[in-house]
Amino acid sequence: MTDHTIRRAGRFALAMALATTALTGAAFAQDCTTKIGAVLPTSVDWGKPIAETAQFVVDQVNEAGGVQGCKIEMILRDTQVDPKVGVDAAKALVDLDGVQVLIGAVSSGVSMPILTSVTVPAGVAQFSCCSSSGAFTALAKEGKTKGLWFRTFATSNVQAVVGAKVAKDKGYKSVAVLYKNDDWGQDIGKLVAEHLQAQGITVTASVAINDAQPSYRAEVTEALAGQPEAVYLALYPTEGISAVREWLSLGGTQNMILANSLKSDEFRDAVGLQYLGSTQGTDTSSPRVASADAFVASYKARFNAEPNGPGLANSYDATMIALLAMEAAGKDAKGADIAAAVARVTDPAGTPVTADAAGFAAARDVLAGGGTVLYRGATGNVRFDENGDVSAPAVIWSFTETGTQEDTYITLEEVDALVGGSN
């Protein structure tokens, strides 16, 4: 073999090696695996897309090379929106699988016992997409979350004040409140009653609804006694369907105001669209910014559907921020280190990064150089306060034959003004 041939062969080998590296660079994380846990209600119709969105993030991060050179495996367990089931699932993920990050849960009534009895005692970072109870804020202020708790969903106060706005705008003079008898329901039920009264609207009754009862006739009869012009419902679909059927059968008004927990095809179909013509619901919303639009586009490309269900953008951001924090915290980081690193990936002065595989790869480079990043996500530029809370814009929506439609968008500044005006 001549020197020229040898040199040419060497250049060819080098080129092939570089090409192979380029092609497999995004897959180098296959040599090791890091597990994270997710406790989400996949057995209910609105819970499965939340879990699928979290997995979408994991897939994107693995496409970008994983976290600290390792592929991420998300172990998903169904909570069934049941506190005991959720706690058992979380314990298995922490004790048996050794996860340092837990995504979830959805219901505040499930997230709270997981936080207090599993993640905080074990020092595991917990990121929730969809738990809004003010009880978490109070717990954090007392130092009992140990900085391990973050949620990308605004507190119940946002929906409560917007629910009162709906009642005022429609001219209702009296409203009954039916709320789920758990941490979330008790919180939002109390808040909406306060905001309604602040608007000069009479709250004729505030009635708790328990899970899995064969009938809600007694509770509905109690709520109807004051002959309210409207009813506010802070329930989940299972008990919401039963309670509303009782409500309508006993002559209750079709003027209904719904929390986002009833933003469900299951609820609409079971009750019947013909009875929901006067119904409006509330929800928090992503800001009208480019990063939120980019999430909608990427979601549609992945799932061939609009991200119309509750908590999807929040699920995306909770999962991506958790994985960015794991990258920032370093290899084999513990939960407390990961929680502490959240500030490095949500830094208003940091390098902006997008919510996708390319954005994660760019963040990795910045973090490796000792810098910080500003994550621009599906819900905008996410910023947590000292209690792990965020605020958000809101929407008022109504049901259609194929899903829901947005009736009114309320900016973050308008939400803050509503909250301030009700205090």
What share of the chain has pLDDT > 90, as a percent?
85
**Nearest alpha-carbon partner for 378 in 328, 330, 329, 309:** 309
- Which pLDDT score is estimated for 23? 36
Q: Does the pLDDT of residue 346 top 80, yes or no? A: yes
What's the rounded Cα separation, in Å, for the pair 272 and 242? 12
Q: How confident is the model at residue 423 (pLDDT cuts 50, 70, 90)?
A: low
- Which pLDDT score is estimated for 344? 98
- Which pLDDT score is estimated for 30? 58
* Mean pLDDT rounded to a whole number for the chain: 92
Q: How confident is the model at residue 6 (pLDDT cuts 50, 70, 90)?
A: very low
Looking at the domain covering 32-153+311-381, what would its CATH class be? alpha beta
Per DSSP, what are the bridge partners of residue 232? 177, 257
What's the rounded Cα separation, in Å, for the pair 352 and 348? 9
- Which pLDDT score is estimated for 308? 83
Looking at the domain covering 156-285+394-422, what would its CATH class be? alpha beta
Report, as an integer, the average pLDDT of 308-333: 95
Convert 388-400 to b/e letters by CB count within 10 Å (16 or more is b).
bbbbbbbbbbbbe
- Are 232 and 178 in contact by the 8 Å Cβ rule? The answer is yes
Q: Does the pLDDT of residue 21 top 50, yes or no? A: no
CA dihedral 146, 148, 153, 155 (to 10 degrees): -10
Q: Does the pLDDT of residue 229 top 60, yes or no? A: yes
**Higher confidence at residue 413 or residue 54?**
54
Give this prediction's pTM.
0.79
Q: How confident is the model at residue 18 (pLDDT cuts 50, 70, 90)?
A: very low
- Which pLDDT score is estimated for 22? 37
Report, as an integer, the average pLDDT of 331-356: 97
The angle at the Cα of 155, spanning 151 to 161, to the nearest 5 degrees, equals 160
414: Cβ contacts below 8 Å, ≥ 6 apart: 393
Q: Say how many C-beta atoms besides its own lie within 10 A of residue 361's C-beta.
A: 17
Q: Does the pLDDT of residue 156 top 50, yes or no? A: yes
Report, as an integer, the average pLDDT of 409-414: 93
32-153+311-381 shares its CATH topology with 156-285+394-422: yes
- Are 371 and 351 in contact by the 8 Å Cβ rule? The answer is yes
331: Cβ contacts below 8 Å, ≥ 6 apart: 68, 69, 70
* Domain coordinates in residue numbering, the chain: 32-153+311-381, 156-285+394-422
Q: How confident is the model at residue 286 (pLDDT cuts 50, 70, 90)?
A: confident
Reduced to 3 states (helix: H, G, I; strand: E, B; else coil), residue 382 is coil
Report, as an integer, the average pLDDT of 355-364: 97
Q: Which two tokens stand for residue 59?
A: 């897939």
Indicate the DSSP class of residue 213: -
The angle at the Cα of 189, spanning 239 to 258, to the nearest 5 degrees, equals 55
- Element spanning 292, H or E: helix 290-303
Report, as an integer, the average pLDDT of 37-44: 96
pLDDT in tens, 101-127: 999 999 999 999 999 999 999 999 999
